[in-house]
Structure formats: C-alpha cells, structure tokens
C-alpha cells in the first residue's frame, strides 16, 4: 500500500512539473556571445563563447580576452531555456550553467573547485557580409 501511494504521489508531482513548464517558444542560443565574469581570477574575467549546432548536437567554445586559447565545451546540452557545458582550464574542470533570458542575454555561473563565478552574456551583433 505504501509503495502504491509513493508511486501515485511521484506521478502527480511529475505531471505537475511538466505541465508547469512555460509554453513560450525556445530561444536559439547559437551565435557568438560576449561574457563578463568580474569575480573570476585575473585573466579569466572576460571573453567570448561561441555556441554552434551541427550534426544534431550543440557545441560551445570559450575564449578568454587575455589569451588566444579556445577551450572546447564538453557535454554541451540545452534543456528548456538553459545551456550547460564543461570546459577544462589549466587542468581544472569548470561547469558552466547559463539561463537564456532573451534573444540577447544569458546569465549563469561557472563552478570550479574554489566556488561559483557569476557570468553575464550578451549576444554579439551579427556582421553583414
């Protein structure tokens, strides 16, 4: 009886969560984003994140302004209105979680062994050719 009650409660909670999801259209994160992380260690406070989509998968590459290195994102996923990926910087794994606020803004955190660093992103204007 307890097992049946637990399963019923779980199903009700799942249905509630799914039906409470916003019905707005998804915003495509593909493009070049400028980011700022003022509380990050020196050398890692600004740069760009290039988000792509190919072969039915999202990609992300993060580049810091002070270095010419590009750090490819691993395990890039888009869930609802959030983008997640992992990068390796100087042997340290950094988990990036970004919430897509609108077509031109994202915000979130980069989490590493010393804590979380807030990130703010703005989409760079596309250059006409």
For 40-61, the pLDDT digits (tens) are 988 889 999 999 999 999 999 9
Distances (CA, A) of 39 to 85, 96, 118, 127: 20, 15, 7, 30
Residue 129: what pLDDT?
52
Sheet order of strands, 74-79 included? 70-72, 57-64, 46-54, 31-36, 115-123, 105-112, 92-102, 82-89, 74-79
Residue 47: what pLDDT?
93
**In the predicted model, is pLDDT for residue 6 greater than 50?**
no
Residue 10: what pLDDT?
44
pTM confidence score: 0.74
For 78-126, the pLDDT digits (tens) are 998 999 999 999 889 999 999 999 999 999 999 999 999 999 999 987 6
- For 4, list phi and psi in degrees, rounded to 5: -65, -45
Residues 28-123: name the CATH superfamily. Answer: Quinohemoprotein amine dehydrogenase alpha subunit, domain 2 (2.40.128.120)
Cα 62 to Cα 32: distance, rounded to the nearest angstrom: 10
Residue 22: what pLDDT?
46
**In the predicted model, is pLDDT for residue 2 greater than 70?**
no
Rg (CA), the chain: 18
Residue 3: what pLDDT?
52
Domain boundaries, the chain: 28-123
Q: Is 115 left (phi over 0), alpha (psi -120 to 50) or beta?
A: left
Residue 49: what pLDDT?
94
**In the predicted model, is pLDDT for residue 20 greater than 50?**
no
Bigger pLDDT: 17 or 81?
A: 81
């Amino acid at each position: 009886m307890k097992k049946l009650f637990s399963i019923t409660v779980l199903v009700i909670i799942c249905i509630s969560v799914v039906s409470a999801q916003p019905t707005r259209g998804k915003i495509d994160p593909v493009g070049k984003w400028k980011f700022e992380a003022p509380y990050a260690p020196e050398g890692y406070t600004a740069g760009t994140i290039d988000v792509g989509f190919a072969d039915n998968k999202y990609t992300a590459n993060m580049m810091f302004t002070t270095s010419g290195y590009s750090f490819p994102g691993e395990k890039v996923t888009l869930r609802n209105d959030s983008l997640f990926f992992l990068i390796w910087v100087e042997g340290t794994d950094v988990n990036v979680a970004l919430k897509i606020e609108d077509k031109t803004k994202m915000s979130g955190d980069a989490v590493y062994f010393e804590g979380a660093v807030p990130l703010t992103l703005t989409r760079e204007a596309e250059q006409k050719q």
